[in-house]
Amino acid sequence: NTGKLWGGRFAGGPSPELEALSRSTHFDWRLTPYDLAGSHAHANVLHGAGLLSDDELAELHRGLAALGERYAAGTLLPDPTDEDVHGALERLLLEEVGPEVGGRLRAGRSRNDQVATLFKSFLRDHADTIGGLVLDLVDALAAQAAAHLAPGRTSIMPGRTHLQHAQPVLLAHHLLAHAWPLLRDVDRLHDWDARVAADSPYGAGALAGSSLGLDPEAVAAELGFTGSTPNSIDGTAARDFVAEFAFVTAMIGVDVSRLAEEVILWSTREFGFVTLHDSWSTGSSIMPQKKNPDIPELARGKAGRLIGNLAGLLATLKALPLAYNRDLQEDKEPVFDSVDTLEVLLPAFTGLVATLTFHADRMAELAPQGFSLATDVAEWLVREGTPFRVAHEVAGACVRRCEELGIELDQLTDEQFREISPALTPGVREVLTAEGSVASRNGRGGTAPDRVREQLDELRARAADV
Ligand code: ARG
């Protein structure tokens, strides 16, 4: 006997080179609590099928619980000869309860249905953690938005398209535009979880199911799933749940990176829109004056890594025949990395956002510049009865005149307005301020202060409900 899970038909043990290649305990050991939970549930269905006596069942539960305690204490460790977490835990269980009782537990299950189930359980827990961390970031954005929506103190900033000044918007509106996609990411995690919960693979065996009269639904229920897999081949071979999880984590990374990039820009001297809190920024080893936005830069960088994890995983799955193939062992490291990355990134990023100081005066000064009120001129003309095609031309002519004169739209005299078009009466001045502009955009979803206050309430209600 080679001491392996699969020693019987082999005359000799595996070569050290094979063992080194095959070993996965250095990364799958973290699945231990999930493997033990699966074993507890599996022991119960073996007992239910009459394959374990009451005493044997009690002894297995005791032994598994003892391993769980040692794991929690950090003293349960794999041996270099263990191939994976499943093999290591079986070896340790045999040491704990003896080969007679311990050797009964493997009946009717395979590492193939085990690992698919454990991985789902692990990812479900981390989906929950990551969802909570994303909601913390949403809260931080909502708090910043609220602080800049106080009546009489609503901060206005230059809204951009193509990175050029486009139209003035409320800072709160812009911040909430980053919060909504993050809230959708949390929704995605919930959708994903419901799909995964319906499909516990335990009981699928190696690929064909079990002949021992075990009850997969009972195992599923005990492990917190809402159902068991209807197809044992699919249950052991499918990894779309991993790819989908990796996609959502990559999407979170990408969504965070878009805000990160803006914070980096906003903190430059040229923009001067925000100051980063000292505790959430870093210095330079040579330039004494430097204050660097490392958190958003790391966020931007780590988005690439999260995308890479998804891309690598899809490449592993592409064209892989059914059912289980050892290639599937490559599913874990990238996703463990995505989990670890987000669980360290999100709290730092949330702290950064929560402590940003926005310079409302600087943003307000720039908001109407760059002719960002030209659309307001055109829409004012439309309200006064001019066709939009003509109004667009007239407002464009105003911009051209301003460029010639080196001034902004509100600096044109009544006389100059009249020369451009008789339709441009002095009444146009009511929309030639950033405040007038944002106040006029008062349809649902618009940037008018009252609308943005409603939007903030709506976001908070949805965040509380998700
Ligand atoms: N450690 C493997 C994995 O993560 C499970 C073992 C399945 N091995 C096997 N020979 N069927 O996918």
How many separate domains does the chain show? 2
Q: Are both 73 and 136 inside the same structural domain? A: no
Q: What is the pLDDT of residue 9?
A: 83
Residue 9 to residue 32: CA distance in whole angstroms: 28
pLDDT of amino acid 17: 94
The residue nearest atom 6 of ligand 1, judged by CA position, is 111
Q: Kindly report the protein residue whose alpha carbon is nearest to atom 10 of ligand 1.
A: 326
Whether 210 and 342 map to the same domain: the answer is yes
Give the whole-angstrom CA distance, residue 188 versus residue 213: 36
C-alpha span between 452 and 454 (Å, rounded)? 5
Q: Atom 5 in ligand 1: which residue has the minimum CA distance?
A: 111
E runs forming strands in 174-219: none
**Closest ligand 1 atom number to CA of residue 112:** 7
- The pLDDT, as a whole number, for residue 153 is 84
pLDDT of residue 12: 84
Model confidence pLDDT, tens digit, residues 190-207: 999 999 999 999 999 999
24 lines ligand 1 (CB under 6 A): yes
- For residues 283 and 314, give the distance between their C-alpha atoms in angstroms, rounded to a whole number: 39
Decide: 314 and 243 in contact? Cβ < 8 Å: yes
Count how many Cα atoms sit within 13 Å of the Cα of residue 387 in the half-sphere of its side chain: 2
- Ligand 1 lined by 329 (C-beta under 6 Å): yes
Q: Are residues 318 and 270 in the same domain?
A: yes
162 catalytically annotated: yes
Residues 99 and 153 in one domain: no
Residues 72, 143 within the same domain? no
Looking at 15, 26, 162, 211, which residue is catalytic?
A: 162
> Can you give the pTM of this predicted structure?
0.95
The rounded Å distance from CA 12 to ligand 1 centre is 20
In this structure, the answer to whether residues 91 and 146 fall within a common structural domain is: no
Give yes or no: residues 126 and 161 share one domain.
Answer: yes
Among residues 342, 365, 388, which one ends one of the domains? 365
- Domain of 88, CATH number, reads 1.10.275.10
Please tell me the distance between residue 76's alpha carbon and the centre of ligand 1 in angstroms. Answer: 21
Determine the 3-state secondary structure of 357 from DSSP. Answer: strand
What does the pLDDT look like over 315-355, one tens digit per residue? Answer: 999 999 999 999 999 999 999 999 999 999 999 999 999 99
Task: Give the separation between CA 156 and CA 447, rounded to whole angstroms.
Answer: 10
Q: Which pair of structure tokens corresponds to residue 151?
A: 């009546």
**Last-in-domain residue among 107, 139, 154:** 107
Q: Residue 87's domain spans which residues?
A: 16-107
Indicate whether residue 324 lines ligand 1 (CB < 6 A).
Answer: yes
More confident call, 287 vs 364: 364
Using CA atoms, how far residue 3 sits from 6, 8, 12, 92, 111, in Å, is 8, 9, 11, 12, 16
Q: Are residues 126 and 96 in the same domain?
A: no
Residue 445 lies in a domain: no
Q: Would you call 159 helix, strand, or coil by DSSP?
A: strand
284 is catalytic: yes
State yes or no: cis peptide before 315, omega within 30 of 0: no
Site to probe by mutation for ligand 1, drawn from 5, 27, 90, 112 as the one with most ligand atoms within 8 Å of Cβ, is 112
219-223's contacts with Cβ under 8 Å and 24+ in sequence apart are 219/38, 219/41, 219/42, 219/44, 219/45, 222/37, 222/40, 222/41, 222/44, 223/37, 223/38, 223/41, 223/117, 223/121
pLDDT in tens, 6-36: 778 888 888 999 999 999 999 999 999 999 9
Give domain status of residue 171, yes or no: yes
State in Å: Cα 105 to ligand 1 middle: 17
Predicted pLDDT of residue 266: 98
Whether the pLDDT of residue 90 is over 70: the answer is yes
**Quick check: is 322 in a domain?**
yes
Domain boundary among 81, 107, 133: 107
- Label residue 271 by pLDDT band (50, 70, 90): very high
DSSP string, 217-248: HHHHHHTT-S-B-S-HHHHHH--HHHHHHHHH
Q: What is the CATH number of the domain that holds 135?
A: 1.20.200.10
The answer on pLDDT for 4 being more than 80 is: no
207 φ, ψ (degrees, to nearest 5): -170, -20
The answer to whether 179 touches 187, Cβ cutoff 8 Å, is no
Handedness of CA 312, 313, 318, 322 (dihedral sign): positive
Q: What is the pLDDT of residue 3?
A: 66
What are phi and psi for residue 442, nearest 5 degrees?
-110, 20
Answer whether 328 contacts ligand 1 (Cβ < 6 A): yes
172 and 270 belong to one structural domain: yes
Ligand 1 contacts CB of residue 25 (under 6 A): no
How large is the ipTM?
Answer: 0.95
Residues 262 and 353 in one domain: yes
**In this predicted model, what pLDDT tens digit does every residue of 394-450 receive, in sequence order?**
999 999 999 999 999 999 999 999 999 999 999 999 889 999 999 999 999 999 999
Any atom of ligand 1 within 6 Å of the Cβ of 89: no
241 occurs within a structural domain: yes
Give a yes or no: residue 406 inside a domain.
Answer: no
Same domain? 253 vs 165: yes
Position 411 in a domain: no
- 85 Cα nearest atom in ligand 1: 1
Same domain, 159 and 101: no
Our answer on whether the CB atom of 83 is closer than 6 Å to any ligand 1 atom is no
Closest ligand 1 atom number to CA of residue 328: 12
In a domain, 75, yes or no: yes
Domain contains 10: no
Query: What local confidence, expressed as pLDDT, does residue 343 receive?
Result: 98
Distance 215 CA to ligand 1 centre (A): 23
Residue nearest to atom 3 of ligand 1 (CA): 329
On whether the CB atoms of residues 186 and 149 are closer than 8 A, the answer is no
pLDDT of residue 2: 55
Q: Check if 231 has its Cβ closer than 6 Å to any atom of ligand 1.
A: no
Instruction: Decide: 112 in ligand 1 pocket, CB within 6 A.
Output: yes
Residue 357 is predicted with a pLDDT of: 97
